Amino acid sequence: MKFEKVLSGLIFFLFLCPTLLFSQSNDSIKILFTGIVITADSLKPIPFVNIKIEGTSQNALTDNKGFFSFKTYKNKNIIFSCLGYKTAYFKIPDTVKHDHYFFIQGMMQDTLHLNETLILPWANYMDFQKAIITTDINNDEMKRARKNIKQIQDISLTANLPLDAEANYKNFVAKMWTTARTKGQMTLLINFAF
């Protein structure tokens, strides 16, 4: 009697176990969702786009080349958002047959026009103009301005003068030291075109 109960329980468990193992719905199987986010007009990658899975706390971010990759479930709504672009939405199809899905999301630029804002310590722009015009510049500020202008003039005048004996010697020693330090090394020439 006891053996029959154990045997019937074992048979029931053997029939029930495969049913439990294979009873997962397609919506509960995770897939690897990868892709790239690009501009819709010029097809250039958009870096650092925020990707949110609706209804969850899961977020992702594209890298500096616009690529993204994360695991999620089929039939989920994905929200793509980035400053300067219109928010885009995508629903992962429930008919995905593989464990991965590749997607290219194009985003349209969104132009934001902000009005100019003037922050002034005066009530209006006319008061600001009057304050600037009537400002009295004292002698200390004039002396400081003349001193700064004098320094700039001295620098511009001495920039084209030939080197004196001490400066020539320092320049010669620096060249000799560089030559000795890099002797036998291959020189690398880099040309920059501007």
pLDDT value for 20: 47
pLDDT tens, residue by residue, 126-155 = 888 888 888 877 778 778 888 888 888 888
CA torsion 23→26→27→33, rounded to 10°?
A: 140
pLDDT score recorded for residue 54: 92
Residue ranges of domains in the chain:
26-107, 114-182
pTM over cut 0.75: no
pLDDT of residue 45: 94
pLDDT in tens, 33-85: 999 999 988 899 999 999 999 988 899 999 999 999 999 998 899 999 998 89
Whether the pLDDT of residue 13 is over 70: the answer is no
Q: Domain 26-107 adopts which CATH fold?
A: Immunoglobulin-like (2.60.40)
The pLDDT mean for the chain works out to 80
